[in-house]
Amino acid sequence: MLVTSLVEKLKFALEELQDGLAIGFHSWPLAENLSFIATMSRAPITQSCDCHHSIRYSFDLESGHVMFLDRQCSLLAPFWRRGRTISAVGPQHGFRIAQAARFRCAPHDCHLGDDSSLRPQVLALPGERTTEAACPRTFDCRGFSLVDQIAEMRVPLFVLTGGDPLKRPDLMPIVQYACRRGVRTSLTPSTTPLLVRDTIFELKQSGLMRLALSLDGSSAALHDTFRGVRGSYQRTLDAVGWCHEAGLPVQVNTTVSRRNLADLDKMIELLSSLRVVLWSVFFLVPTGRAQLSDLLSAEEHEQVFAKLYAASKRVKFHIKTTEGQHYRRYVLQQKARVPNARSQEDLIANSPKGVNDGKGFVFVSHTGEVYPSGFLPLAAGNVLYEPLAQIYQESSLFRSLRDSSQLKGKCGRCDFRDVCGGYRARAYAISHDPLAQEPCCAYTP
């Protein structure tokens, strides 16, 4: 007989697992009546994953765990010891910030939310080419297949992001597998209660190369208001401390907007005290709920560039810009002004080509769709049907984005177009043309 608590547990399981068993085998239909599911509890089940291999497991509804008993799937075998359990009850999909990370961003800031699923955010390609990607949504062999493709492309960096990648039950196996394949992997989790000390230590032991945390203000009042969750600031600082304990390098991501423009000097002081290895400064792209009113003007971008360049001369951590390609132009201009410096033309000629959307950077969503970046919503293909390398190399969209001669407006006339090229997603957000000129650049060629 089902007692009340078990009935509630079963109802919860039905609600949360209606798209398929939460451990992720792609389309396993749940039984429609509770009594049948109750008879399944602790009983061995044989289930085929999407690659048609069989996995035998038992589903214990009382504890909410799945125990793997044996499996024929050779791809999953290295990651699950006989008798290992994982949690099976709970929300497992939702890679958008508003959906998965429990953040309630202010209505006009949440440009981080869009379709940044585990944002395989970063795949990175050889040499100057850097790639961002997100793993497929379900826990099946396709996640590992994507890692195999990334390894074959010899990417310098692979970033898992979200939403909240910690909600993926296969996160640790994917990190471990990427490490075994020689893929340098970084993770950008959300600072929810899922991010605890033990998880950070497990990530380090699994082979994670770096953890990236978002921090958008030097105080709890500013950051928590931006994120919409009280306590987010302190959780982030706690996570930084745990990373230091575990010996895991820490990167901090900050999105610059009108709301924290005056806080940058204090942020630099804070980051120096936190001993981070990299500060990645994001410049707002007005997509989703982000509004134009919060977008910095071209002149304000130059002011931020000046602060970053000056700080880079004195701080111990590295500073890079994301969605701010024209910072490269600013840096070369400053170097050309130093006494006895090489000419600006010589500096440009000897600088590596800049990474940009679709140009050394690719984003794969949780559904397998391939985009030039998480902020440029133009899909070029899907890794479920085409190899990632083929999409990146042969897609007409990606090829056009890599051809600087196709840039329009002043970007097309600019001497810095191969080094900078303007941020393509922001151009698209303003003009609906990914090849239009950068709308927030003060430089006139």
pLDDT tens figures, 342-372: 999 999 998 888 889 999 999 998 888 999 9
Name which of 175, 195, 197 is nearest 184 in CA terms: 175
Indicate if 140 and 248 belong to the same structural domain: yes
Q: Rounded to whole angstroms, how far apart are CA atoms 130 and 278?
A: 16
Indicate if 64 and 130 belong to the same structural domain: no
pLDDT reported for residue 47: 41
Indicate if 33 and 155 belong to the same structural domain: no
Q: What is the CATH number of the domain that holds 183?
A: 3.20.20.70
Whether a cis peptide bond, with omega within 30° of 0, leads into 24 is: no
Residue 445 forms part of a structural domain: no
Indicate if 202 and 76 belong to the same structural domain: no
Q: Find out whether 189 and 162 touch, Cβ atoms under 8 Å.
A: yes
pLDDT tens figures, 236-250: 999 999 999 999 999
Q: Rounded to whole angstroms, how far apart are CA atoms 252 and 49?
A: 37
| pLDDT of residue 252 exceeding 80 | yes
Residue 436 forms part of a structural domain: no
Q: Rounded to whole angstroms, how far apart are CA atoms 45 and 59?
A: 8
User: What domain range is 198 assigned to?
Assistant: 97-431
- Partners of residue 58 on adjacent β-strands: 44, 67
Indicate if 274 and 152 belong to the same structural domain: yes
Q: Rounded to whole angstroms, how far apart are CA atoms 194 and 94?
A: 15
Indicate if 72 and 134 belong to the same structural domain: no
Quote the percentage of the chain above a pLDDT of 90.
Answer: 58
pLDDT band at residue 227 using 50, 70 and 90 as cut-offs: confident
Residue 437 forms part of a structural domain: no
Name which of 97, 104, 113 is nearest 375 in CA terms: 113
Indicate if 175 and 269 belong to the same structural domain: yes
The total of structural domains in the chain comes to 2
Among residues 62, 87, 112, the one where a domain terminates is 87
Indicate if 316 and 187 belong to the same structural domain: yes
Indicate if 311 and 215 belong to the same structural domain: yes
**DSSP per position, 224-276:** HHHHT-TTHHHHHHHHHHHHHHHT--EEEEEEE-TTTGGGHHHHHHHHHHHT-
Among residues 69, 87, 105, the one where a domain terminates is 87
Q: What is the pTM of this model?
A: 0.71
Residue 236 forms part of a structural domain: yes
Indicate if 74 and 192 belong to the same structural domain: no
Residue 252 forms part of a structural domain: yes
Residue 438 forms part of a structural domain: no
pLDDT reported for residue 74: 38
Q: Find out whether 17 and 41 touch, Cβ atoms under 8 Å.
A: no
Residue 128 forms part of a structural domain: yes
Indicate if 55 and 119 belong to the same structural domain: no
Residue 92 forms part of a structural domain: no
Q: Find out whether 124 and 105 touch, Cβ atoms under 8 Å.
A: no
| pLDDT of residue 312 exceeding 50 | yes
Among residues 87, 118, 150, the one where a domain terminates is 87
Q: Rounded to whole angstroms, how far apart are CA atoms 92 and 99?
A: 11
Q: Rounded to whole angstroms, how far apart are CA atoms 333 and 54?
A: 60
Indicate if 340 and 372 belong to the same structural domain: yes
- Residue appearing with tokens 């955010």: 121
Q: Rounded to whole angstroms, how far apart are CA atoms 359 and 373?
A: 10
